[in-house]
């Protein structure tokens, strides 16, 4: 997204808070008007000091009282302006973050799989914070700066047109310098934001997988990778700061030329009697106030370049193509029997690399279907397609005769119970994690499900039992205990279809035998899809699908497949060879 498009998008967010914007501009105008009125009062005081012993003290004190009132009103106007700017900025930031999070919720899974979590988090947190800082500075200083420039020009023209002409002639040079540098800084700040996101992604990955890093002695490689990214971040940050830092001294040089020109021209007019000493003092004060906003605006421009670069990244996330929307007349699956059919399914994660081709499968209600095969053959991909985490490229998948693309995702997924090798637990109590699928479950039902999954015994040993609070991803629980909680969650819901993807991979053999019996009871009358590497766990399956390179190469029950002495038999013998 280019700079102009990004700025236009920002304006659309600002438009919603036009009232705050209007009040801010009015208060900025009042602040500037009162600030510019102050030098006039100062000039009048100087003109009342005519010479030694010739001071109009009553007039001076009257003007000093006016100056005190002006100072108080100026402070009040600035206070109101800052309140409006803060509320406007942080409500815009709230809107952007809400929209970004809503978009993440409906993004297709392929986007999440294709981007590191840290990089996505960096966009929503760090980039939005940088954008807020730049926007707040823009609101606070940009309005007052522009109004100050226009106001001082007006006041200077009212005092002396010729001296004002000197100021106007030198002004375009300052704009040219600031504009030239601004174009350079946007590119640098955009690169800085991207590199910062890459760094955040690496940190998130290393911290989240610290045990794996240490287990494989990967610390040195991780440090080298971090140093390389850090050096690139340092390089692009230095270049961005270097170009942005040129703005202020460059504009200050131009401003000093303006001030010197006004001082010389004003002195010549004062000698000739064109203006009084008080007016010259007033004029010099205006010249200083006229040039000061250029320094502030140049700083604002630098911050805005950074803000726009960060905004471009968050808007790119917001504008990502969402998952395929459900049709308006999407049906709701009710009273599901569990008949599943895959017809001529073709799917690949990357278009140029085929994975599943012409996949056909018919599963009757209550059947237990096991899917086995080497790593990368498409077992988990079939699960992703059944749950509609991904849509098929060709063909269709039907549940009870209804194409799953024509039913609501919510009703489809409510009819599946899924236990994966990778567990997912949220921060909260043990009970909160179990009742996630059935918030209205009674205490007796929760305990019964926990006993069925053999999780009740370890839960009771915890400090507060079912009320024990655990952190995100289970905290101090072992991997096996986490998996037991996930199994309990499914046993509490008992939907008509089950997906078990290496559901007992982290559980000890003794507990696994018990859970397999519980699974056998749970799967009675329910269509079940079982992905397993340990073939001992699927001997009782009604149908075993042997997959290789995205295709079903063998199909049958355990006994018939062993008799064929094909690929399945070789897999089985490799696990149980003496």
Q: Is residue 310 part of a domain?
A: yes
Residues 281 and 221 in one domain: yes
> 329 in a domain, yes or no?
no
Predicted pLDDT at 294:
66
CA dist 541 and 308 (Å) reads 58
Which of helix, strand or coil describes residue 392?
coil
pLDDT score at 179: 65
* Domain final position from 286, 318, 350: 318
529 and 432 in a common domain: yes
pLDDT at residue number 1? 58
Residue at 533 is within a domain: yes
Is 464 a member of any domain?
A: yes
* Radius of gyration in angstroms for the set of CA atoms belonging to the chain, rounded to a whole number: 36
267 token code pair: 């002195």
User: Per-residue DSSP letters for 288-316?
Assistant: HHHHHHHHHHHHHHHHHHHHHHHHHHHHH
283, 318, 353 — which closes off a domain? 318
Residues 288 and 352 in one domain: no
For residue 328, is it within any domain?
no
**Is the residue at 266 inside a domain?**
yes
Q: What pLDDT does residue 447 have?
A: 92
Same domain membership, residue 548 and residue 486 = yes
Instruction: Name the residue among 523, 556, 525 with its Cα closest to residue 542.
Output: 556
pLDDT for residue 578? 45
**Nearest-5° Cα angle at 509, 507 to 511:** 65
The CATH number of whichever domain residue 177 belongs to comes to 1.20.1560.10
Please name the residue that has the structure tokens 């029950």.
Answer: 557
Does 234 share its domain with 365? Answer: no
CA dist., res. 222 & res. 210, Å (int): 11
On whether both 87 and 234 belong to a single domain, the answer is yes
Q: Check whether residue 293 and residue 354 sit in a common domain.
A: no
Domain end among 318, 349, 380: 318
Answer yes or no: is 494 within a domain: yes
351, 268: one domain: no
CB 128 within 8 A of CB 314: yes
Q: In tens digits, what is the pLDDT along the chain, a chain of 578 residues?
A: 566 777 788 888 888 888 888 888 888 888 878 887 777 777 777 767 755 666 667 777 888 888 888 889 988 988 998 888 888 888 888 888 888 888 888 888 888 777 777 778 878 888 888 788 777 777 667 777 777 777 777 777 777 777 777 677 766 666 676 666 666 676 777 778 778 878 887 887 787 777 777 777 788 888 888 888 888 888 888 887 777 777 667 767 776 777 777 777 777 776 776 666 666 677 777 777 676 666 666 666 667 777 777 888 888 888 888 888 888 888 888 888 889 998 988 888 877 777 888 888 888 888 888 888 887 777 888 888 888 888 888 999 999 888 999 898 888 888 888 887 777 888 888 999 899 888 888 999 999 989 888 889 889 998 888 999 887 777 778 877 888 888 888 888 888 898 888 766 666 777 677 677 777 777 888 898 888 777 767 777 888 888 887 777 888 888 888 888 888 888 878 776 54
Q: Is the CB of residue 399 less than 8 Å from the CB of residue 334? A: no
Question: Within 10 Å of residue 299's Cβ, how many Cβ atoms?
Answer: 19
pLDDT of residue 234: 85
- Same domain as 251, residue 366: no
Supply 457's token pair: 């015994």
Cβ(58)–Cβ(51) below 8 Å: no
How many domains does one find in the chain?
2
Residue corresponding to tokens 């899809």:
529
Q: Rounded distance, CA 477 to CA 487, Å?
A: 15
| CATH number of the CATH domain containing 444 | 3.40.50.300
Sequence-distant (6+) residues with CB within 8 A of 546 are: 372, 373, 552, 553, 554, 555, 561, 566, 567, 568, 571
Q: Are residues 33 and 94 in the same domain?
A: yes
Which residue bears the tokens 């001992």?
A: 536
Three-state SS at 544: strand
- Could you tell me if residue 89 is inside a domain? yes
Domain span at 55: 3-318
Say how many CA atoms lie within 13 Å of 68 toward its Cβ: 6
Give yes or no: residues 273 and 411 share one domain. Answer: no
CA-to-CA dists, residue 330 to 323, 325, 396, 443, 538, angstroms:
15, 10, 16, 35, 36
348/309 same-domain check: no
């Amino acid at each position: 997204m280019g700079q102009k498009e990004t700025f236009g998008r920002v304006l659309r967010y600002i438009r919603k808070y036009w009232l705050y914007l209007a009040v801010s501009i009015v208060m900025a105008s009042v602040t500037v008007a009162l600030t510019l009125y102050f030098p006039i009062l100062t000039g009048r005081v100087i003109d009342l000091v005519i010479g030694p012993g010739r001071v109009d003290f009553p007039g001076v004190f009257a003007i000093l009282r006016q100056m005190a009132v002006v100072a108080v009103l100026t402070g009040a106007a600035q206070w109101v302006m800052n309140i409006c700017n803060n509320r406007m900025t942080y409500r815009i930031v709230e809107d952007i973050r809400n929209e970004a999070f809503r978009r993440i919720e409906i993004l297709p899974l392929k986007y999440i799989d294709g981007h590191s979590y840290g990089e996505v988090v960096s966009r929503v947190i760090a980039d939005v914070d940088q954008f807020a800082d730049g926007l707040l500075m823009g609101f606070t200083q940009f309005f007052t700066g522009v109004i100050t420039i226009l106001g001082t020009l007006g006041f200077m023209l009212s005092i002396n047109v010729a001296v004002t002409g000197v100021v106007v002639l030198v002004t375009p040079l300052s704009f040219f310098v600031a504009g030239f540098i601004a174009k350079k800084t946007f590119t640098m700040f955009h690169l800085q934001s991207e590199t910062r996101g890459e760094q955040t992604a690496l940190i998130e990955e290393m911290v989240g997988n610290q045990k794996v890093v240490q287990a494989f002695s990967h610390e040195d490689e991780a440090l080298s990778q971090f140093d390389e990214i850090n050096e690139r971040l340092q390089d692009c940050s230095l270049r961005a700061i270097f170009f942005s830092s040129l703005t202020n001294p460059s504009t200050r040089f131009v401003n000093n030329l303006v001030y010197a020109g006004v001082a010389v021209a004003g002195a010549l007019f004062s000698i000739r009697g064109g203006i009084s000493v008080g007016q010259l003092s007033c004029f010099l004060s205006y010249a200083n106030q006229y040039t000061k906003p250029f320094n502030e605006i140049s700083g604002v421009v630098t911050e805005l370049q950074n803000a726009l670069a960060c905004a471009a990244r968050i808007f790119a996330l917001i504008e990502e193509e969402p998952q395929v929307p459900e049709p308006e007349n999407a049906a709701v699956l009710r009273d599901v029997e569990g008949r599943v059919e895959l017809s001529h399914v073709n799917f690949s994660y990357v278009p140029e690399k085929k994975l599943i081709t012409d996949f056909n499968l018919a599963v009757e209600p209550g059947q237990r279907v096991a899917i086995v095969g080497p790593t990368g053959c498409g077992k988990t991909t079939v699960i992703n397609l059944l749950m509609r985490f991904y849509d098929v490229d060709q063909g269709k998948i039907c549940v009870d005769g209804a194409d799953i693309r024509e039913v609501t995702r919510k009703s489809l997924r409510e009819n599946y119970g899924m236990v994966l090798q990778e567990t997912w637990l949220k921060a909260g109590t043990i009970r909160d994690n179990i009742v996630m699928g059935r918030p209205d479950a009674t205490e007796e039902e929760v305990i019964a499900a926990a006993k069925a999954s053999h999780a009740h015994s370890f839960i009771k040993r915890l400090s507060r039992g079912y009320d024990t609070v655990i952190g995100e991803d289970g905290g101090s629980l072992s991997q096996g205990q986490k998996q037991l909680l996930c199994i309990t969650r499914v046993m509490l819901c008992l939907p008509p279809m089950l997906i078990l993807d290496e559901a007992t991979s982290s559980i000890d053999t003794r507990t696994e035998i018990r859970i397999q019996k519980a699974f056998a009871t749970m799967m009675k009358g329910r269509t079940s899809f079982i992905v397993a590497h340990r073939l001992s766990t699927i001997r009782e399956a009604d149908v075993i699908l042997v997959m290789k390179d995205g295709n079903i190469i063998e199909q049958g029950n355990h006994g018939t497949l062993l008799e064929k002495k094909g690929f399945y038999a070789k897999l089985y013998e490799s696990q149980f060879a003496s």
